[in-house]
Structure 1
Amino acid sequence: MKIKNTRSALISNYEVFDLVNDRISYQKQIQQSQSNVDYPEHLRTIQFELVEYIKGTPTSTQSEDQVKAFLQQIDRYSLTLGEKVQVLNLRPKSAVEIYLLIEECEERFSEEDLDNILSIISTTLPRPDEDDDGIEEMEQALETQ
């Protein structure tokens, strides 16, 4: 593979995850059909570690349909591509997290806009770690104090 133009595009963790998994599948097919082909051990190590890292992030549960729905709905806000990718990768759950991801957020968006952005995130990109058990445990801990 030859890189024609470095940094010509930003891609999300979902796209990286999908690409690496496709590449791993392709490599396995080639190795099964051609026994003399061997991929370097360091390449397989990097691929494995990358997949394991992404499995531990909110990105691991995303689907192509979710990403498309998110991008369509968030399009009405003037976010840069980098900001969209960051929101997509990290799936912020609070306005504070959005302030950290979006440059000059307080100047560009009202509180209502931030609430709408959070609503879009929670509906189009649901997180498996958003369960009621964690909320109940937090409420119980606050009551005992």
Structure 2
Amino acid sequence: MKIIKSSAGALTNFEVLDLLRSRGAGKDPTRVIASVAPSEFKVFDYLEQTAACNQTRDTINKLVDECKKYDLAKAEVLNIANIRPSSAVEVYMMIEECDTRIEDRIDELVETILQVLPPNPSQAESMEVN
């Protein structure tokens, strides 16, 4: 992987996964066709098991737009996109001074996250079983 512009900003897990896919990373068992380093395949394999595998640029952009009304820092939105919290407790741990900044709107934020971001693969499987 070549760094084109250093300190251009943090990337979401989806953006890293999208980059690896564009470079040829995939589920091909031989993995000899792609020009991707073994370490990049390990990152790809990990990210394929996270919420990033079901996300799109549109969902990330929509999340960023929806989070503007909560006045969240870029790092907080990045954490939300990467982790996809599904409860108020998880969101509370990601937002600095959450009790004073968001107060009673935390449930609204959780509902927004659940509506905008697709579930993690493990969450999707558990919903199908129930």
Structure 1 portions without partners, runs of 5+: 26-30, 33-37, 135-145
Helix, strand or coil at the partner of 1:24: coil
Equivalences for residues 97-112 of structure 1 within 5 A: 97-111=90-104
Which is higher, the Rg of structure 1 or of structure 2? 1
Question: Do residues 18 (structure 1) and 21 (structure 2) align?
Answer: no
Q: Residue 126 of structure 1: CA displacement?
A: 2.4
Task: Report the aligned-residue RMSD.
Answer: 2.3
Helix, strand or coil at the partner of 1:92: coil
Corresponding residue for residue 122 of structure 1: 114
- Aligned residue type for 1:125: L
Corresponding residue for residue 143 of structure 1: none
Q: Residue 3 of structure 1: CA displacement?
A: 5.1
Q: Residue 133 of structure 1: CA displacement?
A: 3.5
Structure 2 portions without partners, runs of 5+: 26-31
Q: Relative to total residues, which structure has the larger helix share, 1 or 2?
A: 1
1:2–1:114 CA distance, 2 compared to 1 (3 A): closer
Distance 1:95 1:24 in 2: 37
Count matched residues: 119
> What percentage of aligned pairs have identical amino acids?
29
Q: Residue 115 of structure 1: CA displacement?
A: 1.1
Distance 1:90 1:2 in 2: 25
Distance 2:92 2:49 in 1: 23
Please give the TM-score of this superposition, normalised by the length of structure 1.
0.72
